């Protein structure tokens, strides 16, 4: 639909303009936040709202940002839109180093590249709906007067409120106001739409219609969307969920490895997890040693082996990103049943939960316990088969 009025622009918005896979600053992702820290100065002292955020979003992703109130969602969004600046760290969007722009550059850049939607719509009350939609085009000088009217009308048709075009915002419903705000966000055809709890002030039926509209923008209009939401159903329907907990991103791999965990438990587990770097070929757990941690792979891969009497290792299986290991020893309270080692040529990154944290996690979540138990059983069975086939001694007995 937008193709109708694709226009020559003097300052083309951020598209996927990568050469050799990278944008100007060497970033390979459309949105690339590096070690972003935000400290607010308050009367009571400094408050760190973001603690070193690293976040990459690719073109065409629909990302939900979730997390409890005060976790830093709006602060994070404001770093991406350039509404506020990081205390330290970098924000790259396409070819633009957003954190380096001055106020004037920032306003122009934002006007062309970011469609921003707020919880309380923030339409100008004295302008009609169509005038509100035309405002960003006026500001960025994007189209001539006649084109602006046509385009605004098309956008209002797209969001299904063309018949309200000449009314004031107060004369239409909340859902219609949010539709108008979305049309306004689309005015300059920005590649990225950022929405901070856009359905937070709407009833559930209207919310789901607005959500559908965002979903269509990703699917049909090739937009990249970041949306803060409190709605778990919405968060489940997007392509990716970023969980914020106390200014940090709850490890997404934790969510992938343990999809049955509710959000608060994921955030909790993330807070407690320790990052472990593993060199190529390095042993992470050794058969027969005592069982301490539960591990999730966040980068690279690991290989599982059984010890053979003559000393060589028998390969059992390969595990990759988003998979976990170490559960058998912890669940059965026994020594390690197998050896796990990083790939010989590739380093791996893991997150580790201590035995105590792992036990608390599965004690509080029956579904988590059941799912991990099921994985353990399958693995135990395949290890037992391998032991039988190759005539290996049984796994070591219980932990002493
Ligand atoms: P969320 O959107 O997840 O509810 P925010 O990003 O708005 O969270 O806020 C994160 C934390 O930073 C909160 O504790 C909030 O009180 C604090 N905060 C936000 N904005 C400011 C500000 N301008 N000055 C001081 N503290 C702030
Ligand atoms: Mg907020």
Residue of 45, 46, 65, 70 to test ligand 1 pocket, by largest number of atoms within 8 Å of CB:
70
Cα 50 to averaged position of ligand 1 atoms, centre (Å): 9
Cα 140 to averaged position of ligand 1 atoms, centre (Å): 30
Residues with CB under 6 A from ligand 1: 40, 42, 47, 49, 67, 69-75
**CA-proximal residue: ligand 1, atom 27 (nearest):** 40
Cα 68 to averaged position of ligand 2 atoms, centre (Å): 9
CA 86 vs CA 37, 40, 248: distances in Å: 6, 10, 14
Residue of 36, 47, 69, 226 to test ligand 1 pocket, by largest number of atoms within 8 Å of CB:
47
Q: Quick one: the chain helix, strand, coil %, rounded to 5? A: 40, 25, 35
CA–CA distance, 82 with 90 (Å, rounded to integer): 11
Mean pLDDT of 92-120: 93
- Bridge partner residues of 36 (DSSP): 53
Mean pLDDT of 155-170: 96
pLDDT at 398 over 60: no
pLDDT of residue 27: 84
Cα 8 to averaged position of ligand 2 atoms, centre (Å): 36
pLDDT at 315 over 90: yes
Neighbours of 393 (CB within 10 A): 10
In 3D, which of 400, 365, 397, 349 has the Cα closest to residue 373? 365
Mean pLDDT of 77-95: 96
Residue of 67, 68, 75, 77 to test ligand 1 pocket, by largest number of atoms within 8 Å of CB:
75
pLDDT of residue 12: 55
pLDDT at 321 over 90: no
pLDDT of residue 400: 47
**CA-proximal residue: ligand 1, atom 7 (nearest):** 74
**CA-proximal residue: ligand 1, atom 16 (nearest):** 70
Mean pLDDT over all residues of the chain?
89
pLDDT of residue 140: 85
Mean pLDDT of 317-329: 94
Residues with Cβ within 8 Å of 46's Cβ and at least 6 positions away in sequence, in order, are 39, 40
Looking up tokens 């058969």 gives: 287
Cα 120 to averaged position of ligand 2 atoms, centre (Å): 12
pLDDT of residue 37: 97
Q: How confident is the model at residue 48 (pLDDT cuts 50, 70, 90)?
A: very high
Starting from the CA of residue 247, give the closest ligand.
Answer: 1
Q: Spell out a b/e string for 316-334, using b for 16 or more CB atoms within 10 Å of the CB, else e.
A: bbebeebbbbbbbbbbeeb
Cα 70 to averaged position of ligand 1 atoms, centre (Å): 6
pLDDT of residue 283: 97
| pLDDT tens digits, one per residue of 301-313 | 999 999 998 888 9
pLDDT of residue 280: 95
Q: How confident is the model at residue 102 (pLDDT cuts 50, 70, 90)?
A: very high
pLDDT of residue 3: 37
Cα 77 to averaged position of ligand 1 atoms, centre (Å): 11
| pLDDT tens digits, one per residue of 331-354 | 999 999 999 999 999 988 898 999
**CA-proximal residue: ligand 1, atom 12 (nearest):** 49
- H/E segment holding residue 198: none
Contact criterion met (CB below 8 Å) for 22 and 10: no
42 CA closest ligand 1 atom index: 25
pLDDT at 7 over 50: no
Starting from the CA of residue 73, give the closest ligand.
Answer: 1
Contact criterion met (CB below 8 Å) for 299 and 276: no
pLDDT at 141 over 90: no
Looking up tokens 């991103």 gives: 249
Q: Look at 85 and 393; give whichever has higher pLDDT.
A: 85
The pair of three-digit structure tokens given for residue 293, joined into one six-digit string: 């941690």
Contact criterion met (CB below 8 Å) for 62 and 240: yes
Cα 331 to averaged position of ligand 2 atoms, centre (Å): 39
Cα 242 to averaged position of ligand 1 atoms, centre (Å): 18
Could you please report the per-residue DSSP string of 19-82? BTTB-TTS--SSEEEEEEEEEEEETTEEEEEEEEEEEEE-TT-EEEEE--TTSSHHHHHHHHHT
Starting from the CA of residue 49, give the closest ligand.
Answer: 1
**Cα angle, residue 371 at apex, residues 378 and 232 outer, rounded to 5°:** 150
pLDDT at 41 over 50: yes
78 CA closest ligand 1 atom index: 6
What is the percent of the chain where pLDDT is above 70? 94
Contact criterion met (CB below 8 Å) for 13 and 113: yes
Starting from the CA of residue 47, give the closest ligand.
Answer: 1
pLDDT at 253 over 80: no
pLDDT at 325 over 50: yes
In 3D, which of 29, 87, 27, 25 has the Cα closest to residue 53? 87
**CA-proximal residue: ligand 1, atom 19 (nearest):** 75
Cα 89 to averaged position of ligand 2 atoms, centre (Å): 21
Q: How confident is the model at residue 395 (pLDDT cuts 50, 70, 90)?
A: low
68 CA closest ligand 1 atom index: 3
| pLDDT tens digits, one per residue of 203-250 | 999 999 999 999 999 999 889 999 999 887 787 788 888 888 778 887
- H/E segment holding residue 327: helix 327-332
The pair of three-digit structure tokens given for residue 58, joined into one six-digit string: 């690719």
In the chain, what's the furthest Cα-to-Cα distance? 84
């Amino acid at each position: 639909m937008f193709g109708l009025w694709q226009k020559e622009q003097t300052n083309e918005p951020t598209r996927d303009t990568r050469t050799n896979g990278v944008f100007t600053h060497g970033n390979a992702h459309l949105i690339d936040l590096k070690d972003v820290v935000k400290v607010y100065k308050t009367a009571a002292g400094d408050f760190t709202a973001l603690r070193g955020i690293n976040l990459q979003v690719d073109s065409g992703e629909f990302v939900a940002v979730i997390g409890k109130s005060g976790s830093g969602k709006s602060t994070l969004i404001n770093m991406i839109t350039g509404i506020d600046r990081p205390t330290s760290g970098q924000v790259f969007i396409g070819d633009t180093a957003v954190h380096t722009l001055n106020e004037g550059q920032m306003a122009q850049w934002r006007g062309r590249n970011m469609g921003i939607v707020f919880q309380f719509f923030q339409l100008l009350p004295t302008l009609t709906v169509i005038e509100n939609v035309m405002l960003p085009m006026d500001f960025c000088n994007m189209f001539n007067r006649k084109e602006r009217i046509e385009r605004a009308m098309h956008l209002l048709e797209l969001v299904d409120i063309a018949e309200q075009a000449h009314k004031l915002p107060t004369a239409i419903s909340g859902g219609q106001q949010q539709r108008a705000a979305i049309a306004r966000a689309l005015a300059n055809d920005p590649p990225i739409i950022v929405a901070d709890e856009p359905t937070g002030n709407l009833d559930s039926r209207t919310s789901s219609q607005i959500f559908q509209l965002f979903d269509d923008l990703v699917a049909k209009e090739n937009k990249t969307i970041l949306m803060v939401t409190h709605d778990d159903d919405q968060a489940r329907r997007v392509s990716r969920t970023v969980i914020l907990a106390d200014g940090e991103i709850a490890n997404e791999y934790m969510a992938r490895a343990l999809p049955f965990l509710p959000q608060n438990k994921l955030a909790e587990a993330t807070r407690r997890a320790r990052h472990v770097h593993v060199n190529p070929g390095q042993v992470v757990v050794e058969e027969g040693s005592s069982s301490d941690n539960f591990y999730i792979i966040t980068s690279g891969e690991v290989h599982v082996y059984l010890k053979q009497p003559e000393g060589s290792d028998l390969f059992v299986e390969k595990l990759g990103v988003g998979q976990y290991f170490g559960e058998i020893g912890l669940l059965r309270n026994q020594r390690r049943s197998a050896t796990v080692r990083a790939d010989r040529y590739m380093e791996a990154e893991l997150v580790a939960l201590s035995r105590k944290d792992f036990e608390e996690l599965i004690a509080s979540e029956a579904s988590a316990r059941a799912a991990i138990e099921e994985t353990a059983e399958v693995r135990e069975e395949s290890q037992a088969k391998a032991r039988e086939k190759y005539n290996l001694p049984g796994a070591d007995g219980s932990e002493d």
